[in-house]
Amino acid sequence: MDSAQLIVTMLGLGLMGFVGWFFFLAPHQVAAAVSSGSGIQEVAITVKGGYSPNVVEVRQGQPVQLNFYRDEDNSCSEELLLPDFNIRRELAPFQTTSIEFLPQQAGTFIFTCGMGILRGQVVVR
């Protein structure tokens, strides 16, 4: 193994470690819902190549309104799925789409894009 191979191998392994950490282990952006005057827990989520924040904390038993602002027209994010609440909604580009549901049970519920690649979680406490 010459030096170039050694360098490439080391760099490659390092990069693999970084990729693994970056996607699987690094902490996620968490946001807690803010209750409006009318008792609805609102969270604004920006959709741009992913969801930010992608972990949303809400309280059990109170209606939740997730306001998805889709800041792109990339077709990957055109649909939003919240399967545990039977929700499939199209998000209009550069617009806010509100999604409402009532979390009756505590737990973690996934929301994803139409193809299940972009992901976020609603954590009901």
Partner 1 sequence: MKATYSAVSASSHSHPAPAAGPPASSGGITRTEVLQIEGMTCASCSNFVQRALTRTPGVTQATVNLASEKATVEFDPARIDSAGLKAAVEQAGYAVHDAVAPVTPGLLASDDELAARKAAAYQQLKRRFQVAVGLALVIMPLSMLMLWPALMSRISMPVLNYVLLLLTVPVLLYSGREFYVSAWNGLRHRTASMDTLIAVGTGAAFLYSLATTVVPDFFRQRGLVPEVYYDTTATIIALILLGKVLESRAKAQTSAAIKALIGLQAKTARLIRNGQEVDVPLEQVRPGDEVLVRPGEKVATDGIILAGHSALDESMLTGESLPVEKTAGDPVFGATLNKTGSFRFRVSKVGTDTMLARIVKLVEEAQGSRAPIQRLADQVSAVFVPVVMLVAIATFVVWFDVAAPAQRLPLALVNFVAVLIIACPCALGLATPTAIMVGTGKGAEYGVLIRNAEALEKAYRVNTVLLDKTGTITRGEPGVMDYVPAATAPADTLARLAALERQSEHPLAEAVVRYADEQRADRLEATGFQAHEGRGAAATVAGSEVLIGNRRLLTEQRVALPPELEQAAEELLRQARTVLYAAIDGQAVALLGVADTVRETSREAIRHLQAEGIEVVIMTGDNQQTAAAVAAQVGITRFFADVLPEGKAGKVKELQAEGRTVAMVGDGINDAPALAQADVGLAIGSGTDVAMEAAGITLMRSDLRGVVTAIDLSRQTIRTIRQNLFFAFLYNVLGIPLAAGVLYPFTGWLLSPMIAAGAMALSSVSVLTNSLRLRAFRPE
Tokens of 88: 């499939």
**How far are the Cα atoms of 41, 60, 104 from residue 36, in angstroms, in the given order?**
6, 15, 19
- Phi and psi at 50, nearest 5°, equal 165, -175
Q: Compute the least distance from the CB of residue 105 to partner 1, in Å.
A: 16
The residue among 48 and 125 lying less far from partner 1, judged by its C-beta, is: 48
Contact 21, 14 (CB under 8 A): no
Contact 87, 81 (CB under 8 A): yes
The residue among 46 and 59 lying less far from partner 1, judged by its C-beta, is: 46
Instruction: Determine the length of the chain.
Output: 125
Of 30, 60, 74, 125, the residue at the interface with partner 1 (CB under 8 A) is 74
When asked if residue 81 is in the footprint of partner 1 (CB under 8 A), the reply is yes
When asked if residue 114 is in the footprint of partner 1 (CB under 8 A), the reply is yes
The residue among 57 and 112 lying less far from partner 1, judged by its C-beta, is: 112
Mask: binding to partner 1, 25-64, rule CB under 8 A, as x and -? -x-xx------xxx-x-x-x-x-xxxxx-x--------x-
When asked if residue 91 is in the footprint of partner 1 (CB under 8 A), the reply is yes
- Phi and psi at 118, nearest 5°, equal -75, 135
Of 31, 62, 89, 123, the residue at the interface with partner 1 (CB under 8 A) is 89
